[in-house]
Structure 1
Amino acid sequence: MQKEHKITDISRESYLQTVMRRFRKHHLAAVSLVILVILGSAALLAPVIAPYDPDAIVGSFSGAPNAQFWLGTDQIGRDVLSRLLYAMRISLLVGVMATLISTVIGVVLGLIAGYFGGVADMIIMRFTDMVMSFPYILLVLVAASIFKPGLWNIILILGFVDWPGIARLVRGNVLSLRETNFIKGNIVAGMPLRHILFSEILPNTAAPILVYATSVLALSMLDEAALSFLGLGVQPPTASLGNMLNGAQSLTVLTKQPWLWIPPGLLIVVLVIAINFIGDALRDALDPNSRN
């Protein structure tokens, strides 16, 4: 009787309730979501909660953590905690904006290629294959070295490099959806192309796009950190997690001043792992074939 009651309750769930119930079963993802919300809120509120101006010299050079400076000071006397909060803000901004740009480009090209097929599909897919044939990190490094380093240049570079995977994903989904009866019915009924693409096809491929976007977000944050570490990304004095790690190239810093590189390095790891856990849980929660 209890089992039948449970089955009846599940059958009455809305799609959103089903997704939320499946997501909560992934305990690591639920914890990761809480961590991501806390860190994201701290980044957004950095101007309010940061104890000092991130660019102001407020203490001794490379000062160890103490009651006044919880994470110590950097090589020129700036508060590490304040810079860490602002750096997280920059890194999240790069990740989110690059993901939005690449998702929009990938979705538009994937919709065009999958729905119209023919010459449009051939041109878009051959161009996509050409972009994907280059080693990813090499393509990013070359683009970053050609253009002037800076925040918005890095966002645009990552946004225009990460779209091929999303384009191929959307194209594959559109090819299958195009042959379904409800899409053919819309075509026969004379519905506008805009309605078919953005009101019928796109919502039905939104779930895999969302899951894939989480991996792009994590990858974009790692790329920003790598480029800033190499001096090709966000430039000082603006703080990012990558350029905060730049000073850790010195053996003295690595061995005797761990407060300069452990906090930003640990924060990158935590953010990327949390985003990946959330992406894995979303993939399972949004899977229409799941019986859980």
Structure 2
Amino acid sequence: MEHEKVVGKDAAGEGTGTDAPSRTLWSDAWHRLRRNRLAVIAIIWISIIVAIAITADLWVPQWLGSPTDTDTTMSSTMSKLPPSAEHPFGTDALGRDVLCRVIYGSRISLAVGVLATAISTVLGLIMGALAAYYGGIWDTIIMRLADIFLAFPYTLFVIVLLAVIGQGIQNVFIAIGILGWPSIARVFRSAILSVKENDYVDAARAMGASDARIIARHIFPNSVASIVVYATMNIGGAILTEAALSYLGMGVTPPNPSWGIMIQDGQQYLATQPWLMLMPGLAILTTVLAFTLLGDGLRDALDVKMKDA
């Protein structure tokens, strides 16, 4: 009898030390994300950019000078210097250090990317939830409104909105955020439609749970994975849009540093002083690519179909 008890205990997997700890969706996703080398590189690069942007005031002015102030007495001798140990990215036409302006420009780009994505995500979640959960006339109105927004060229629509509400960094991320909700609403609507008819939703409704509670506690947690992926990629798109607006003169106002303004100022010197345009261009390229690779890695990590057996 004792032998049978021992065997039964081993068969159940207790006491043998072979039990694998259960993982949640997010811990399991993090486990798979760490094995994606491109995503890890993207996380490291984004972390470096964020750390540099946050701590810039502590060391950049002492090492590289001001991103906006110019010394008229030294501008003739400091103008358009090539990259060197003293000025790693060279200097611009007014003698300002290009690396300094790239670093401070990252603050604006990251702020616009995060804040604009936050606005569009909140609006998209609300509109998508209303359209998918209630359906009927709500679904028709919201989706047709989304079609109207998507029918216009995105950048042109942002320019028109900025022309109405005015320029400025605050209006830039407001305009980008307001016009970015339709895509997120469509993604969230599709995710909700795939889970709202599940048994646990019907059980919660039968127990008298309110619509807000059902959406917040049951539908949203099971639909949020696709939104996390889309929002991460959307940050890169917002950064690119801000750079395009600043390049066209509709975004950040000089002398504030912006990657788009730096490219616009440096394009006329591309043949003789290419660093004036290439350095901010590389900053845009690497940052947008990092958010795209991170979003791609999150998509694979959060895909339950790819879960290891």
Q: TM-score, normalised by structure 1?
A: 0.92
Q: Quote how far apart the aligned CAs of 1:145 are.
A: 3.4
Q: Quote how far apart the aligned CAs of 1:249 are.
A: 2.8
Contact 1:225 1:242 in 2 (8 A): yes
Deviations 1:50-109, CA, capped at 9 Å, x for gaps: 132211225522222333322222111222121111101100100110000000000001
Contact 1:42 1:49 in 2 (8 A): no
Unpaired runs of at least 5, structure 2:
1-17
Letter in 2 for 1:152: Q
Structure with larger Rg? 2
2:257 equivalent to 1:239: yes
Q: Quote how far apart the aligned CAs of 1:11 are.
A: 7.0
Residue 205 of structure 1 aligns to a residue whose secondary structure is helix
Q: Quote how far apart the aligned CAs of 1:291 are.
A: 3.2
Aligned pairs for 1:117-156 within 5 A: 117-156=135-174
2:70 equivalent to 1:57: yes
Distance in 1 between the 2:83 and 2:262 partners?
A: 16
Could you list the runs of 4 or more consecutive aligned residues of structure 1 that deviate by over 4 angstroms after TM superposition?
8-11
Distance in 2 between the 1:198 and 1:246 partners?
A: 45
2:48 equivalent to 1:38: yes
Distance in 2 between the 1:111 and 1:61 partners?
A: 55
Q: Quote how far apart the aligned CAs of 1:149 are.
A: 1.9
2:227 equivalent to 1:214: no
2:293 equivalent to 1:277: yes
Distance in 2 between the 1:74 and 1:131 partners?
A: 39
Letter in 2 for 1:28: L
Q: Quote how far apart the aligned CAs of 1:158 are.
A: 0.5
Q: Quote how far apart the aligned CAs of 1:9 are.
A: 6.6
2:127 equivalent to 1:109: yes
Distance in 1 between the 2:281 and 2:176 partners?
A: 21
Letter in 1 for 2:54: L
Q: Quote how far apart the aligned CAs of 1:200 are.
A: 1.5
Tell which deviates more after alignment, 71-80 or 61-70.
Answer: 61-70
Contact 2:133 2:196 in 1 (8 A): yes
Tell which deviates more after alignment, 88-97 or 144-153.
Answer: 144-153
Contact 2:267 2:277 in 1 (8 A): no
Q: Hey, what does 1:3 align to over in structure 2?
A: none
Unpaired runs of at least 5, structure 1:
1-7
Q: Quick one: structure 1 residues 286 and 229, their matched pair in 2 at CA, closer, same or farther if it must change by over 3 Å? A: same
Q: Quote how far apart the aligned CAs of 1:36 are.
A: 0.9
Contact 2:270 2:277 in 1 (8 A): yes
The one of 18, 22, 29 equivalent to 1:19 is 29
Distance in 1 between the 2:196 and 2:295 partners?
A: 27
* Percentage of matched positions with identical amino acids: 39
Tell which deviates more after alignment, 140-149 or 128-137.
Answer: 140-149
Distance in 2 between the 1:219 and 1:150 partners?
A: 19
Letter in 1 for 2:218: E
Contact 2:67 2:100 in 1 (8 A): yes
Distance in 1 between the 2:46 and 2:20 partners?
A: 29
The one of 82, 93, 97 equivalent to 2:115 is 97
Q: Quote how far apart the aligned CAs of 1:10 are.
A: 6.1
Q: Quote how far apart the aligned CAs of 1:124 are.
A: 0.8
Letter in 1 for 2:260: G
Distance in 2 between the 1:92 and 1:157 partners?
A: 16
Q: Quote how far apart the aligned CAs of 1:46 are.
A: 1.3
The one of 47, 66, 70 equivalent to 2:88 is 70
Corresponding pairs, count: 284
Distance in 2 between the 1:123 and 1:109 partners?
A: 10
Tell which deviates more after alignment, 145-154 or 209-218.
Answer: 145-154
Q: Quote how far apart the aligned CAs of 1:256 are.
A: 1.3
Letter in 2 for 1:120: W
Q: Quote how far apart the aligned CAs of 1:130 are.
A: 1.1
Letter in 2 for 1:258: P
CA root-mean-square deviation = 1.8
